[in-house]
Amino acid sequence: MSGELLRVVMVAASTCAFAGMAVSAERLDIGKREYEANCVVCHGVKGKGDGPFNEFLKVRTPDLSVLTKNNGGLFPVNRVLEVIDGRTQVKGHGTREMPIWGDVYDAQAVPQFDDYGYNAKLFVWARTLALVDYLSRLQVR
Ligand code: HEC
């Protein structure tokens, strides 16, 4: 987990403790689940860009495990966030090759996903941040 994300989680945890709420262990790796459900077909299990869907793509799927390495040792949190939610369009040949997940999650943010609570904005944020955290854990040194 990047330092920044870790700090956010710690602040959230201490806020809960302050409010007198029990902080129980989370066993579900939401980021891993989201990655395996939505990204692995193209980006591959370890993010190397070798997923089975690649034979149908015109653009080579980038290696997501070297984002930190290629950014001077710092995981590019903002860029990754914006690529996932669609604010940053990644350059492809012609049309956008990668779906905009912010829109997909927005569309899915309905009450039946009750493990995220009923707040649609939080539902989208939780999944997006969990993905960013998961990608930060895929980075090679
Ligand atoms: C349909 C195949 C496909 C799927 C599914 C997909 N991606 Fe991508 N992704 C790509 C391609 C292709 C590019 C490069 C696009 C380009 O250069 O135009 C890319 C680029 C990216 C980048 C930018 C990398 C960089 O160099 O800065 C990130 C981050 C990323 N994807 C994350 C994800 C995440 C997270 C998911 C799952 C929510 C996902 N992708 C799902 C094909 C895919």
Whether 139 contacts 69, CB under 8 Å: yes
Q: What's the pTM?
A: 0.76
Q: What is the mean pLDDT of residues 39-47?
A: 93
- Would you state the pLDDT for residue 17? 47
Looking at residue 75, its pLDDT comes to 98
Rounded Cα distance, 95 and 100, in Å: 12
Q: What's residue 4's pLDDT?
A: 65
Average pLDDT estimate for 32-52 = 93
| Distance from the alpha carbon of residue 64 to the mean position of ligand 1, in angstroms | 8
pLDDT tens-place string over residues 64-121: 999 999 999 999 999 998 888 776 655 443 355 566 666 777 777 665 555 655 677 7
CA–CA distance, 90 with 32 (Å, rounded to integer): 22
CA of 18 from ligand 1 middle (Å) equals 39
Residue ranges of domains in the chain: 3-137
